[in-house]
Amino acid sequence: MSKVSYYTEEGLKKLRGELNQLRDVERPKASQAIAEARDKGDLSENAEYDAAKEAQGLLEMRIAKLEEIVAGARLIDESQFDSSKVLVHSTVKLKNTGNGMEMTYKLVAQSEADLKTGKISVDSPIGQGLLGKKVGEIAVIQVPNGVLNFEVLEISRT
């Protein structure tokens, strides 16, 4: 049974694009590399053949994983979100009550997470701790370095 994950239209399109690239371009390349290595003679001592077979195995594992993710992917309509509490695809402005620092994060599916662009996974400790919180509430979040307290300052759908 595949795990259900929620994606924006852009995120799902990117995921399907990667899957199509692997199936339509990388898979034929891997088969060609194996065929070329096979043509070079004795397979029992052919390191190139072994490497090509291993690369193909890794590629097939990645394709299977992406197929599972796409099968469980659900497109979300962000216009239907209740912005009174933190949900998947909410953009949240936070204040660290310990040092007063403010930050803004968008909660996204694991595969869309990118800290450089302010997108954190709902499966991360911070993402989990923020889900369901409302403006003004304090999220007490256990992280590897200890406990962080974040005050939710603002919630939006952008």
Return residue ranges of the chain for CATH 1.10.287.180. 5-75
Name the pLDDT band for 3 (thresholds 50, 70, 90): confident
- Residue 6's pLDDT band (cuts 50, 70, 90): confident
120-143 tens-digit pLDDT: 988 899 999 999 999 999 999 988
Q: CA-to-CA distance for 116 and 37, rounded, in angstroms?
A: 41
DSSP state of 2: P
For 5-75, CATH number? 1.10.287.180
Q: Mark out the alpha helices in 23-150 (DSSP H runs).
A: 27-38, 47-71, 125-130
More confident residue, 1 or 132: 132
Is the pLDDT at 71 greater than 70? The verdict is yes
Are 90 and 36 a contacting pair, CB within 8 Å?
A: no
Q: Does domain 78-156 have CATH number 3.10.50.30?
A: yes
pLDDT of residue 151: 94
pLDDT in tens, 73-128: 887 766 666 678 888 888 999 999 989 999 999 998 887 888 899 999 888 999 99
38 vs 83, higher pLDDT: 38
Q: What is the pLDDT of residue 38?
A: 83
- CATH 3.10.50.30-classified regions of the chain: 78-156
The pTM score is 0.61
Q: What does the DSSP 8-state code read for residue 41?
A: S
Q: How many helices (H) and strands (E) does the chain have?
A: 4, 7
